[in-house]
Structure 1
């Protein structure tokens, strides 16, 4: 019994030290601006995005993801919308009222009153946004972005008002930890539905958001998030080393305590691009660069630099690649170029920054939510905060 007691004490000490280190690193590094884009340009683009994609009225608003057919939205989109709005507000470009409308929509479309994860999709039927029973499951990426946006809102507005952002964030984080983290690998699952033998080990590399997990640890005082951050970063390192390009797939498998990495087949999860650098993986440069921006992690910098070296050799950035670097389509898309522009600015790659800055400031697509929203998010994230 005494031996077990000491083991418990040693384990607790390790977690406390990890939390203290993670908190110190995160709190001593002040977020820096990246692209030197005029505030007026950011404001113009934010207003254009808001007018085109932000729907709803009264107490709730959502980000519309469809341009034809039935009106729909996704938890992913709501997360982006909340991130855009709070970061625009921190620059004096958006209002708290808008953020509250987005937050109330999230609250109205949680899986249930007792489960604060957001239902992954809603469709407008008879004037109301509703989810089917099958849609009342989660998508981890959306929940992670919503939680992070709520934390930013709490830090910006300091909890004053009718919505307690901090309390909402902590409730959501507890649910994410309980339902969306793999208890063996301590990595994010793709959703709370991924519980079967063939889905529990699925991972979106773009969900390995080390910066978020560091923040969750320091914000909540829960050192277990530091472990998630460490495991996420080490997994990204391994994935980065697998190919000379540094590219990673939309989905992989990670299993066991050793976090053994495996591949998936095309269409195994959601699309023909499941095993390619596609519309999920295109977010990785942004996610990893954010960690470098926030913590100055040299590991994150190296991962981003390797990907940027590959893209610097391309005449133009296409909307999809094999992991060995062969373009899978002939067209471009801001969902692929905007995160690269942000990443190049963040790590100080002047050549690529000049090459890509026009991506951030180009006119927004008016009938394609995903590239327009990622471009807007990269743009507001690149702006200077008001002092």
Structure 2
């Protein structure tokens, strides 16, 4: 009887185990979460975080923003795939896709479905390759998930996808269904081959931008220095040092030559007469291509994040000038920040967009001089109502960094 009892118990145990496995999300049943949210990263010495709220309060604010973002924008795209719905037509772009992959890997541990979402986003990326290099992502799809407006890439989306894959290797390891580290190296090498001008060592706008004035043009919102350093570390490719150094050179050249009173960077940059300068009106998108507009509003977040993580101070003078300028410009009132400035500080925007005010919260972390300003920016962002995909994404990224929850490869 004892033997039979043991046998029955072992079968019951097996059934329980099977039931547990069956209700876990696919892809995450056996993967440990190595860096669960919240992370509470120690940033560069001398940098600050909001101190008008508790750490737990900040973590909870990030969780709430993530839950709202996921509900609004993360959608299934057929069996085993997810995409980020970036407008009311149900279209998506690789930029949004990179955002989704970063969010899901960063929120793992809090969100039990994070790896399922991440793998589904990865599968969607693999299903939409650029016609120029299949490791890069075709930049735009319609609501039927068909590539539209050219089967080529946008560099920022590819950079975020690559960086997210490096984080996924650290988060879940690469011995499961997807070899995240190898996938990361494949897209990193493709970025170097097709999205870096290897004469100027500048970041191109996409894999299509390889001739004429586009070949030497660049976009400051793609100046993801933390990503570039991770790419070099992961691949051992020392050419990334050339890109990093050139990126810092361009930041300081633009600051010295065109925005010494504000620290603002333009949406697009062209190379002309041996120097880098703000693009002319309608260079690529609209009349404000040479102003601080809906692309460069991300630069305070992108550039300051690298300083917070690595302590590299080569852009610190520009960041601090920008911090002091915007704080004075709006009389320390985040609700007065507008969506558009000329490089000399003249305002042309009229809307208090989260895509503009939230990134200033990240750059305000560089010095205790800005503590009260940072506190105001945190509170304004954390309590903000939902806007659209772009604004809500940038607010969430900025809050992840401001709360001390950004980490790197």
Q: Give the shorter-chain TM-score range.
A: 0.7 to 0.9
Distance 1:386 1:62, change over 3 A: closer
2:165 counterpart of 1:150: yes
Distance 1:130 1:168, change over 3 A: same
Following superposition, the deviation at residue 177 of structure 1 comes to 0.5
Distance 1:114 1:241, change over 3 A: closer
Taking the aligned partners of 1:31 and 1:147, their CA distance within structure 2 comes to 23
**Structure having the higher Rg:** 2
- Equivalent residue in structure 2 for 1:65, among 73, 82, 86: 86
2:216 counterpart of 1:195: no
Taking the aligned partners of 1:190 and 1:106, their CA distance within structure 2 comes to 19
SS state at 1:106 partner? helix
Taking the aligned partners of 2:96 and 2:112, their CA distance within structure 1 comes to 20
Following superposition, the deviation at residue 203 of structure 1 comes to 0.7
Distance 1:352 1:386, change over 3 A: closer
SS state at 2:363 partner? helix
SS state at 1:62 partner? strand
Q: Which residue of 2 aligns with 1:318?
A: 338
- Equivalent residue in structure 2 for 1:254, among 268, 271, 289: 271
Taking the aligned partners of 1:39 and 1:291, their CA distance within structure 2 comes to 21
Taking the aligned partners of 2:251 and 2:272, their CA distance within structure 1 comes to 14
Q: Which moved more, 1:280-289 or 1:233-242?
A: 233-242
Following superposition, the deviation at residue 31 of structure 1 comes to 4.9
Following superposition, the deviation at residue 351 of structure 1 comes to 2.3
2:380 counterpart of 1:365: no
2:141 counterpart of 1:122: yes
Taking the aligned partners of 1:84 and 1:231, their CA distance within structure 2 comes to 28
Q: Which residue of 2 aligns with 1:95?
A: 114
Q: Which residue of 2 aligns with 1:169?
A: 184
Following superposition, the deviation at residue 182 of structure 1 comes to 0.8
Taking the aligned partners of 1:47 and 1:157, their CA distance within structure 2 comes to 21
Q: Which residue of 1 aligns with 2:251?
A: 236
> CA RMSD for the aligned pairs?
2.3
Q: TM-score, normalised by structure 2?
A: 0.80
- Equivalent residue in structure 1 for 2:100, among 81, 106, 110: 81
1:246-287 residue CA offsets vs partner (Å, 9 max, x unmatched): 11110011369xx62133211121112101000111011011
Taking the aligned partners of 1:182 and 1:386, their CA distance within structure 2 comes to 29
For these two proteins, the number of residue pairs brought into alignment is 350
Following superposition, the deviation at residue 383 of structure 1 comes to 3.6
Kept in 1: contact 2:361–2:402 (CA 8 A) = no
Where in structure 1 are there 5+ consecutive unaligned residues? Answer: 1-28
Q: Which residue of 1 aligns with 2:65?
A: 45
2:154 counterpart of 1:139: yes
Kept in 1: contact 2:378–2:399 (CA 8 A) = no
Where in structure 2 are there 5+ consecutive unaligned residues? Answer: 1-40, 331-335
Taking the aligned partners of 1:140 and 1:220, their CA distance within structure 2 comes to 18
Following superposition, the deviation at residue 105 of structure 1 comes to 1.3
Following superposition, the deviation at residue 205 of structure 1 comes to 1.4
2:201 counterpart of 1:180: no
SS state at 1:137 partner? coil
Taking the aligned partners of 2:135 and 2:301, their CA distance within structure 1 comes to 26
Kept in 1: contact 2:280–2:289 (CA 8 A) = yes
Taking the aligned partners of 1:110 and 1:30, their CA distance within structure 2 comes to 37
Q: Which residue of 2 aligns with 1:306?
A: 321
Taking the aligned partners of 1:262 and 1:113, their CA distance within structure 2 comes to 28
1:21-78 residue CA offsets vs partner (Å, 9 max, x unmatched): xxxxxxxx965794445322211110011001111154111111112xx310000111
Following superposition, the deviation at residue 208 of structure 1 comes to 2.0
1:101-148 residue CA offsets vs partner (Å, 9 max, x unmatched): 111111111225961110110001xxx31113x421111111111111
- Equivalent residue in structure 2 for 1:288, among 303, 327, 337: 303
Q: Which moved more, 1:349-358 or 1:110-119?
A: 110-119
Taking the aligned partners of 1:113 and 1:271, their CA distance within structure 2 comes to 26
2:279 counterpart of 1:264: yes
- Equivalent residue in structure 1 for 2:75, among 55, 64, 76: 55
Q: Which residue of 2 aligns with 1:7?
A: none
